[in-house]
Amino acid sequence: KKRIAVMTSGGDSPGMCAAVRAVVRAGIYFDCEVFGCYEGYSGLVQGGDLLKPLVWEDVRGWLSLGGTLIGTARCQEFRERAGRLQGAKNMVLRGIDALIVCGGDGSLTGADLFRSEWPSLLDELVESGELTSEQVAPYRTLTIVGMVGSIDNDMAMTDNTIGAYSSLERICEMVDYIDTTAASHSRAFVVEVMGRHCGWLAIMAGVCCGADYVFVPEQPPSAANWREEMKKVCLRHRERGRRKTTVIVAEGAIDDELNPITSEQVKDSLVELGLDTRVTTLGHVQRGGTAVAFDRLLATMQGVEAVKAVLESTPDTPSPMIGIQENKVVHIPLVEAVKQTKAVAAAIERKDFEAAFKLRDAVFQE
Ligand code: ADP
């Protein structure tokens, strides 16, 4: 029987539990044994109770849950070869040679590195006498499959990541709450949302909540006059009778000189218009709560596909990332997706904003 470990790693997102549930149950359906790797890569490194079998009943009721019940962690040890060596040993001892990782680009980068090092890790374990060559012989190839769990929707080559729509829903609910009081008092609100490198949440929230103005990292406004531009637009809306002003600022908003645009700066500019202005930083409510229907669906479809991908993989296939493009679940070479994701950040850093915007997926650009 094929033994597969499933983990959630990096920042948590609603739908990760549904993804684990889908992997466990699809695994059982396809006659595999599934192990839960608890606390991200720490589960591999530490083994013991952090790497143990999951059965059908273990994931009962997980479909709608937010966060991740198998835990997630930032695991420093796994960044070092010694940690990955320990991880390989723990896997071989349990007969596991396939790993499904639901996480962000960091987690998927780690997974691919692990796969590329795998044969040499096994050799080293044999040389040092920790394992025998008979023990490692059946597990010479490691299969890695990635799924993207991220509230920011910050992975390239997939239209959506697991958790992004739940987070967007939370933001919309909060902005709706704010809107009622804003309109009552005729106030302005600056709402700061998550998204350090990716403005998807901010843009989508802007559209869904009818914001006056949005600041995102991929399309930075001019350092020289962004304040005036924003004020002009907000003032125009007021002159047309709007009783509230809503400006959405992504956490990673910048101007075209790469200076951060902060909520406080935006507030100060709105105050100059004579508006009674408040700042609301939504913070971790954006990660919380149950998964919306779309994330449950995405996680379930992708979890099943991830198990199939494990069973279909050959030593020559590049590690796939399961993604979604135009409503179809697709396999994307994991390395390519991570590379393109990093290229966006690099384009922003060298102030090539046109390239940064183009590298984002079609859905974002529309
Ligand atoms: P995310 O997956 O959300 O991008 P991180 O970048 O923090 O989050 O990565 C999560 C974990 O993945 C890290 O704590 C570490 O254990 C592992 N990881 C990330 N990058 C690497 C890497 N280059 N090599 C090995 N492990 C990595």
The CB of 114 under 6 Å from ligand 1? The reply is no
- Letter string b/e over residues 290-314, b meaning 16 or more CB atoms within 10 A of that residue's CB: bbbebbbebbbbbbbbbbbbbeebe
pLDDT of residue 357: 81
Residue 156 is inside which H or E element, if any? Answer: none
CA of 303 to the centre of ligand 1 (A): 21
Q: What is the mean pLDDT of residues 130-152?
A: 97
CA of 237 to the centre of ligand 1 (A): 44
The CB of 330 under 6 Å from ligand 1? The reply is no
CA of 266 to the centre of ligand 1 (A): 33
Is position 150 annotated in a ligand binding site? yes
| pLDDT bucket at 361, cuts 50 / 70 / 90 | low
Closest CA to 149 of 218, 65, 252: 65
Q: Give nearest CA residue, ligand 1 atom 21.
A: 110
| pLDDT bucket at 150, cuts 50 / 70 / 90 | very high
The CB of 75 under 6 Å from ligand 1? The reply is yes
The CB of 10 under 6 Å from ligand 1? The reply is yes
Q: Which residue has the tokens 């780690």?
A: 110
Dihedrals φ, ψ of 278, to 5°? -125, 150
SS3 279: strand
Q: Which two tokens mark 337?
A: 């997706």
pLDDT of residue 355: 87
Segment 194-242, tens digit of pLDDT: 999 899 999 999 999 999 999 999 899 999 999 999 999 999 999 999 9
Q: Give nearest CA residue, ligand 1 atom 27.
A: 110
User: Hey, what long-range contacts does 323-327 have (CB within 8 A, 24 or more apart)?
Assistant: 323/148, 323/155, 323/157, 323/158, 323/159, 324/158, 324/159, 324/160, 324/298, 325/157, 325/158, 325/159, 325/361, 326/159
CA of 222 to the centre of ligand 1 (A): 34
| pLDDT bucket at 68, cuts 50 / 70 / 90 | very high
Burial class (CB in 10 A: 0-12, 13-18, 19+), 165: buried
Alpha-carbon distances, residue 75 vs 104, 181, 270, 293 (angstroms): 14, 43, 42, 31
Q: Give nearest CA residue, ligand 1 atom 5.
A: 106
| pLDDT bucket at 46, cuts 50 / 70 / 90 | very high
Q: What is the mean pLDDT of residues 10-34?
A: 97
Is position 187 annotated in a ligand binding site? yes
Q: Give nearest CA residue, ligand 1 atom 6.
A: 106
Is position 105 annotated in a ligand binding site? yes
SS3 268: helix
The CB of 72 under 6 Å from ligand 1? The reply is no
Whole-angstrom distance, CA of residue 279 vs CA of residue 216: 17
User: What is the maximal distance between C-alpha atoms in the chain?
Assistant: 79
Q: Which residue has the tokens 């001892």?
A: 93
Burial class (CB in 10 A: 0-12, 13-18, 19+), 236: exposed
Is position 286 annotated in a ligand binding site? yes
* CA end-to-end distance (rounded Å), the chain: 46
Q: Which two tokens mark 348?
A: 């922003």
CA of 103 to the centre of ligand 1 (A): 9
Segment 237-276, tens digit of pLDDT: 999 999 999 999 999 999 999 999 999 999 999 999 999 9
77, pLDDT greater than 90: yes
Dihedrals φ, ψ of 197, to 5°? -115, -10
pLDDT of residue 362: 52
pLDDT of residue 50: 98
366, pLDDT greater than 60: no
If one counts every other C-beta atom within 10 angstroms of the C-beta of residue 142, the result is 24
The CB of 24 under 6 Å from ligand 1? The reply is no
Choose one of 85, 109, 113 to mutate for the ligand 1 pocket test, by most ligand atoms within 8 angstroms of C-beta. Answer: 109
Q: Give nearest CA residue, ligand 1 atom 15.
A: 75
The CB of 103 under 6 Å from ligand 1? The reply is yes
Percent pLDDT > 90 in the chain is: 93
Is position 238 annotated in a ligand binding site? no
pTM for this predicted structure: 0.95
Closest CA to 332 of 145, 161, 163, 165: 145
pLDDT of residue 358: 82
The CB of 11 under 6 Å from ligand 1? The reply is yes
Q: Which residues contact 37 (CB under 8 A, 6 or more apart)?
A: 5, 6, 7, 43, 44, 50, 51, 70, 99
Whole-angstrom distance, CA of residue 248 vs CA of residue 267: 11
CA of 283 to the centre of ligand 1 (A): 22
The CB of 193 under 6 Å from ligand 1? The reply is no
If one counts every other C-beta atom within 10 angstroms of the C-beta of residue 36, the result is 23
If one counts every other C-beta atom within 10 angstroms of the C-beta of residue 127, the result is 10
If you average pLDDT over every residue of the chain, what do you get? Answer: 95
Segment 82-121, tens digit of pLDDT: 999 999 999 999 999 999 999 999 999 999 999 999 999 9
Whole-angstrom distance, CA of residue 77 vs CA of residue 45: 7
Question: What ipTM describes this predicted complex?
Answer: 0.97
Is position 194 annotated in a ligand binding site? yes
Q: Please give the positions annotated as active site.
A: 152
